Amino acid sequence: MELLSSTKSFGGWLKRYKHESLSVKGDMTFAIYLPPQAETQNVPVLYWLSGLTCTDENFTQKAGAFRKAAELGLAIVCPDTSPRGTDYPNEHESYDFGSGAGFYVNATVEPYSNTYHMYDYVVQELPHLIETNFPVTDKRSISGHSMGGHGALICALKNPGKYQSVSAFAPIVNPTKCPWGQKAFTGYLGEDKDTWNEWDATYLIESQVGKASERLPLFIDQGEADNFLVEQLKPEALEAACEKAGYPITLRRQPGYDHSYFFIASFIDEHLEHHSNALS
């Protein structure tokens, strides 16, 4: 790993690294906040997945999470949102597909199938890297925003026992039924819509009806003034699926809040406390 920067914050350290990734076959950048407790003991980790157009820096600079993370003794890891350094057709032409928009899936359509394996990167490679090289435990939780909220939900639902808790801000909960998800899934996964379902949180919940599987409670905040609420986010779809499946969900609709990091910063402390309680 190559250390790109190191900045002290609330007694801990925010560090950015670049490393060669086997999952995406190229360099990836991630940030990690190590609270002051990490100087004397191993600490649990929250993985944060960011949304469309973001890098690892959006959360670290805008969420205001480090005071509470330092208080709780919680490390936070923020990966980038897609592979970088390639020039595939249409990769850089729109904000909702390609660079900055990996959607946390494993692409199966060429040429994206060569490198766009963000699911494998987030679920397998990055945790192994973090747990091998930093003073952290093997207890981990996951959260995210918008596209990253979608990523957090599917990572938790598809990997029982791997995460102690999951939460999301304004997640894309039903990507197979919204324009953002349909565009991305067509480009990454192809025209066979049956293959899309395994990357859709609402479908994953629906498929658990009658099954005795892990039921990790979902903790979600959604702003009611979010411009993307009706067309893209559709929280009522996930809510209905959870009710049908008897799956535990806390979906808080926050009046007046939009899709921005002002929304995230307003409630991030409660999410960190939620994860810290689960991790302890």
Active site residues: 146, 226, 259
List, in order, residues 6 or more apart from 116 with CB less than 8 Å away.
24, 82, 83, 102, 105, 106, 107, 188
Q: How far apart are CA 166 and CA 142, in angstroms?
A: 5
Beta-ladder partners of 251: 220
Q: Other CB atoms closer than 10 Å to residue 95's CB: what's the count?
A: 12
Q: How far apart are CA 235 and CA 206, in angstroms?
A: 14
Report CA dihedral (201, 155, 196, 105) to the nearest 10 degrees: 140
Cα distances from 150 to residues 84, 86, 211, 235, 245, in angstroms, run 21, 24, 22, 11, 19
Contact by Cβ (8 Å): 118, 105 = yes
Whether the bond into 111 is cis, omega within 30 of 0 = yes
Q: How far is CA 212 from the centre of its chain?
A: 25
